[in-house]
Amino acid sequence: MARLVIVSNRVPDVADSGPRAGGLAVGLADALVPGSLWFGWSGQRVAQRSDEIHTATEDGITYATIDLAEDDYRSYYLGFSNATLWPLFHMMPSLVSFDNAGYNAYRDVNEQFARTLATLIAPDDLIWIHDYQLLGLAEALRQLGVGNRIGFFLHIPFPAPALFDLLPPAEELLHGLLAHDVVGFQTEQDRGHFLGAMYQRGISLQGNDAWHEGRRLHSMVTPIGVDVDAFNRLAVRAVRRVEARRVVESLAGRALMISADRLDYTKGLPARFDAYGRFLSRFPEQLRRISFLQVAAPSREEVDQYKALRDELDYKAGAINGEYSDFDWVPLRYMTRAAGRGVLAGMFRISRIGLVTPLRDGMNLVAMEYIAAQDPLNPGVLILSRFAGAATLLPEALLVNPYDVDQMAEAINTAMLMTLEERQERHVALLERIRTHDATAYCRSFVAVLSQAEG
């Protein structure tokens, strides 16, 4: 059986004894069997570029990492990856910043990854590359003579062709993607945008396949998911923890609405705060009946746009609490620090409403984890942005336009008034959907297709 080699920008820290933080580490848990290799950046920065490899083993899985030079961190990671690709792929072109130095560093780091990875792989290994930071890795591997089957999965949206064309190196990036055997996307819309960009450049298409220089590239849609039962067990345990008990006591019978995000401009937090303020204004009968807990883990704090976002949210949170607080009630609890998955699982389970309203998102595992955490006898209501990839899978959620403050305010009121019977009916349907599209289905479907690729 071929060994699976996972490649991502960051690799989980095996020295961290706590639960995996979520996202990729959780989604790939089923694929990582003893003997697998996970390769990427250690998270450490050094003064000079180095190909030195650090290895660690946990549960039979090898984690191999390299450090990033400080200049590469700023130009490759903060620069081209997160100041150029991230906003453009999330369809926010006004926030895009591009310079040639950043793109050159991006290519250099992809080539550094390729040189290092080439020393670690065997000819029959399956290589599965993840996300937008490594769009050029497969091409760099091919240039080194690597003939392995190589797959790529994009976790964030792929922009419409007209937006993608705004990138000065758009053609080079697309050419790099053609070096894969399989590319995967979260939604049909993302795949359609990708194939449309290929078509505009005269690449030969046959159905969902692209042909270029004798190589067949197969595109597929396989949304990432969560381990439903494991997260439910985590939530059941978590409600007995002191953090959950303290929150329940502080609510004094009020409903809890919760959101949990990275502090990122794609997550729609300013409009979300505005919507909550609009809800309190339009539906005064709900005053003192609800408390909103927003957990916003700091992210990319070196970037000016993120500093400005935090300042804006601090102001909005203060305005809401200044307007509506009472002596024994604060309507908005706003935390700008990370919370562990166990703590969040407990908060999800005790909440009446989960508010997940990104302006654009590849999938959004928080929405799925919120569903998985619920008590089926007394489930909460999920309010979900229709611009999250998860909305294509979860139509029984209350779907909203995250730019429409009044619609979100009305959805909060609808969730507060929803009967137990309707909440249960929606939850049964949503739970079945996330079981169908769970982490196991995600991993197995992609690896099965990659295993059959011609190479």
> Domain residues of the chain, as ranges?
4-225+439-451, 228-436
Catalytic-labelled residue, pool 180, 361, 437, 438: 361
Nearby residues of 160 by Cβ (< 8 Å), 6 or more positions away: 91, 193, 196
Six-digit token string for 164? 């993608």
Torsion 447-449-452-455 (CA) sign: negative
Query: How many helices and strands (H and E) does the chain possess?
Result: 17, 16
pLDDT at 12: 86
Q: Is the pLDDT of residue 301 over 90?
A: no
pLDDT at 17: 47
The whole-angstrom distance between residue 183's C-alpha and the CA centroid of its chain comes to 17
Tell me which residue has tokens 């961190």.
73
Annotated catalytic residue 437: no
* Residue ranges in 38-181 assigned as alpha helix (H): 70-72, 86-89, 100-118, 137-143, 161-164, 170-177
Give ∠ CA 311-329-340 in degrees, rounded to 5. Answer: 60
Q: Which helix (H) or strand (E) holds 420?
A: helix 420-436
Note the pTM of the prediction, 2 decimals: 0.95
pLDDT at 56: 95
CATH topology of domain 228-436: Rossmann fold (3.40.50)
* pLDDT mean over 126-148: 98
pLDDT at 18: 45
pLDDT at 303: 77
Annotated catalytic residue 155: yes
Catalytic-labelled residue, pool 90, 155, 427, 437: 155
pLDDT at 454: 80
Q: Is the pLDDT of residue 23 over 80?
A: no
* pLDDT mean over 391-395: 98
Q: Which residues of 240-267 are buried (b: 16+ CB within 10 A; e: fewer)?
A: eeebbeebeeebeeebbbbbbbbbbbbb
pLDDT at 20: 46
Confidence of residue 27 (pLDDT cuts 50, 70, 90): confident
CATH 3.20.20.450 assigned to 4-225+439-451: no
**3-state secondary structure at position 90:** coil
Confidence of residue 22 (pLDDT cuts 50, 70, 90): low
Beta carbons of 390 and 367 less than 8 angstroms apart: yes
